[in-house]
Amino acid sequence: MVTTTEKMIGNYPDERGHFGPYGGLFVSETLMDPLDELREAYQRFMQDEAFLKELDEDLKHYVGRPSPIYHAKRWSEELNGAQIYLKREDLNHTGAHKVNNTVGQALLARHMGKTRIIAETGAGQHGVASATVAARLGLECVVYMGAVDIARQEANVYRMRLLGAEVRSVESGSKTLKDALNEAMRDWVTNVDNTFYIIGTVAGPHPYPAMVRDFQAVIGREARRQMPEQAGRQPDALVACVGGGSNAIGLFYPYLDDREVAIYGVEAAGSGLDSGQHAAPLCAGKPGVLHGNRTYLMEDKDGQIIETHSVSAGLDYPGVGPEHAWLKDSGRANYVAVTDQEALAAFHDLTRIEGIIPALESSHALAYAAKLAQTMRRDQIVLVNLSGRGDKDMHTVAAQEGLKI
Amino acid sequence: MSMLKEKFAQLRQQQKTALIPFITAGDPLPEITVDLMQDLVAAGADIIELGIPFSDPMADGPVIQRASERALEYHVSLRDVLEMVSRFRQMDRETPVVLMGYLNPIEIMGYQNFAEQAADAGVDGALVVDLPPEEGQEFQQILKQHGLDQIYLVAPTSTAARIERICELSGGFVYYVSVKGVTGASHLDIKSLDEKLKQIRENTDLPVGVGFGIKDAETAAAVSQVSDAVVVGSALVSRVEALADQPEKIGAALRETLSGMRQAMDNAVHK
Ligand SMILES: Cc1ncc(COP(=O)(O)O)c(C=O)c1O
């Protein structure tokens, strides 16, 4: 446990991207200088008032920020526990928190003079958010997506193509998100002169975990301002789902030094942690090195990365952002997991009781929040990051009920 | 103790450029790897680079990715790879072996454990693609204690300051990645290569090898005139791939390709 009052905000990562023993820069030599150039540019622009103003304007007028906070009264009533509030990232342009990051990175790409954007995607949300900003800025865009994910996220593939992006199917390895990330890295190493790689979560080599966090931290900054206005005080607990961990860190980060606020990251337990069919590296994995950083991984005894399972494509990733690994070890945040079935139940509950159809990823956070709320008093508050809307998941949910739409 | 230094000294005397073939251990069948290593030596290999299969070979092109996938169908582990080297060593005490791979399988075995077992098996050096000098110091120290060389990459994007530092830290030889891209990429440019090698040599007396993008005997010959070692990977692995269903034919195919390169290189030097 963190018993000290050490300040966490602003202290991590160190100059080389380390969060305690995690993070860092584990890439081939060819990428070392380009990553250094990126770090330098990012640090410079984050101090640049004109750049920050442009970013703020985009977040306000293009993304639709600030996103509201909504008190789910009927659901809270039904659960008969703590009051559940939702941070409505589902109302952002393109339907998820992912766009907060792509707007920021695309702006950076333009300021760095890059003309081509590449991205990896699992559920397709980050791919859509990347294709969206590329369209708006007139940049060429290539999105790498595992063949398995292309098959289960058809609608998003079509959206990306409509937006003018080229979607490249990745046939190597397990043909899912991790392989798409490998392939995007290979593209970047080959086309590094004109290409900017927009990573979609707080993973990858330094400076990505810190940079993506900083672009997503707008979620928590707004929440910290909104909660006192709306609920009269800050929440007792924060809950967010963790795939790579970007929506979670976005909410958590501005609260890290508020030690009285409990923090819960929710991983995908798939068919159950005991089944081995899950995507919960923090709950059931061990530390290793993948995709440019040291973090908790799902790996076998030989150090090979193993396939993950989750009903939600956006959580189907064998690694997790290094800052979460550090928050876990330091005891500042708790990491738990909920199964496909629990997430689906929460999906239906929120839809029927509050008239909000959540993304399956976010449904994991909702499922845990419901459990947690029931252990708390009615005058306490749980703030859940509703990271995205469920439109993209209609097929998956219908298929679970044996329907085809 | 690493035999790399000795080997390069020998080659220098003979005015020869080292030929370093790469194959992935266990591809396409674990039981033929040691035989293939001997075939490579018979065809003129001076040093062998043996790939450790990994599920996520981020710096490799499709040819070597698929080699990893084939080996992993047989669950070839780092321990298995070391065991192969050890069997090779019983038959060949002169050809240095360098392992090439990614950090995670080594990390899970433990640096100390790996170094001990690698030294016992007769490994001479290790090249860990995703371990740049910034993160590699602990590993390097441990390798050194066990008499193993750590080989670092220099890339077209490496700045002067990085080149200097990498040269300082490298053991055995310095490996110049001749193209921006993954293994198996094309478009190698000899002229800019020559300039980059000169820049590297200003920083070190270590031999400088060149790899990534050497596809045929002609390129091997051209590169051999400006470098101390020529590393050939995808060109060989694609022959393995083509014959994956007829493994008994792979040895002869590798010998054919490699000896063609050897001849072209030796002729070029004597020109
Ligand atoms: C709606 C939504 N939530 C969460 C995630 C998981 O990503 P992260 O953990 O980076 O927030 C995704 C990824 O696609 C997503 O689409």
Q: Is the dihedral of CA A177, A251, A96, A189 positive or negative?
A: negative
- Token duo for residue A4: 């000290």
Q: Which residues of chain B have a pLDDT value below 50?
A: 271
Residue A25 to residue B117: CA distance in whole angstroms? 27
- Token duo for residue B188: 């190698």
- Number of C-beta neighbours around residue A6 at 10 A: 10
Residue A390 to residue A153: CA distance in whole angstroms? 12
Contact yes or no for A30 and B75 at CB 8 A: no
**What is the CA(A241)–ligand 1 centre distance, in A?**
7
Q: Is the dihedral of CA B177, B180, B181, B184 positive or negative?
A: negative
Q: Is B92 a catalytic residue?
A: no
Contact yes or no for A179 and B56 at CB 8 A: yes
Nearest by CB to B104, from A172, A185, A290: name it. Answer: A290
Please report residues of B whose CB lies closer than 8 A to that of A14: none
3-state helix, strand, coil in chain A (%, to 5): 45, 20, 35
B52 touching chain A per CB within 8 A: no
Q: Give the residue from chain A lying closest to B80, CA to CA.
A: A302
Residues 6+ apart with CB under 8 A from B92: B37, B38, B41
- Please tell me the total number of residues recorded for chain A in this structure: 405
Residue A221 to residue A211: CA distance in whole angstroms? 16
Q: What is the pTM of this model?
A: 0.96
Local confidence pLDDT in tens for the 405 residues of chain A = 454 567 889 889 999 999 999 999 999 999 999 999 999 999 999 999 999 999 999 999 999 999 999 999 999 999 999 999 999 999 999 999 999 999 999 999 999 999 999 999 998 999 999 999 999 999 999 999 999 999 888 889 999 999 999 999 999 988 989 999 999 999 999 999 999 999 999 999 999 999 999 999 999 999 999 999 999 999 999 999 999 999 999 999 999 999 999 999 999 999 999 999 999 999 999 999 999 999 999 999 999 999 999 999 899 999 999 999 999 999 999 999 999 999 999 999 999 999 999 999 999 999 999 999 999 999 999 999 999 999 999 989 999 989 988
Could you give the residue ranges of the DSSP H alpha helices within chain B? Answer: 4-13, 33-42, 62-73, 78-91, 103-109, 111-121, 137-145, 160-169, 190-201, 217-224, 234-242, 250-270
Residue B213 has what pLDDT? 85
Please report residues of B whose CB lies closer than 8 A to that of A304: 53-55, 72, 104-105
Counting from 1 in the atom list of ligand 1, the atom nearest the Cα of A389 is 1
Q: From edge to edge, which strands make up the β-sheet containing B97-101? A: B149-150, B125-128, B97-101, B48-51, B18-24, B229-232, B208-211, B174-177, B153-154
DSSP strand pairing (A22-23 vs A18-19):
antiparallel
Q: From edge to edge, which strands make up the β-sheet containing A286-290? A: A18-19, A22-23, A293-297, A286-290
- Number of C-beta neighbours around residue B90 at 10 A: 9
**What is the CA(B6)–ligand 1 centre distance, in A?**
54
Residue B269 has what pLDDT? 66
ipTM above 0.90, yes or no: yes
Contact yes or no for B155 and A28 at CB 8 A: yes
Residue B183 has what pLDDT? 83
Residues 6+ apart with CB under 8 A from B233: B21, B22, B23, B49, B51, B63, B64, B183, B184, B211, B212
**Ligand 1, atom 7, residue with closest C-alpha:** A243
Residue A228 to residue A314: CA distance in whole angstroms? 31
Q: Give the residue from chain A lying closest to B78, CA to CA.
A: A302
Residue A189 to residue A173: CA distance in whole angstroms? 19
- What stretch of H or E contains B49? strand B48-51
CA atoms within 13 A on the CB side of A94: 28
Residue B270 has what pLDDT? 55
Q: Is the dihedral of CA B84, B86, B87, B91 positive or negative?
A: positive
Residues with CB under 6 A from ligand 1: A 96, 98, 122-123, 125-126, 201, 241-248, 314-315, 359, 361-362, 387-388
Residue A24 to residue B119: CA distance in whole angstroms? 28
Residue B271 has what pLDDT? 46
Residue A5 has what pLDDT? 65
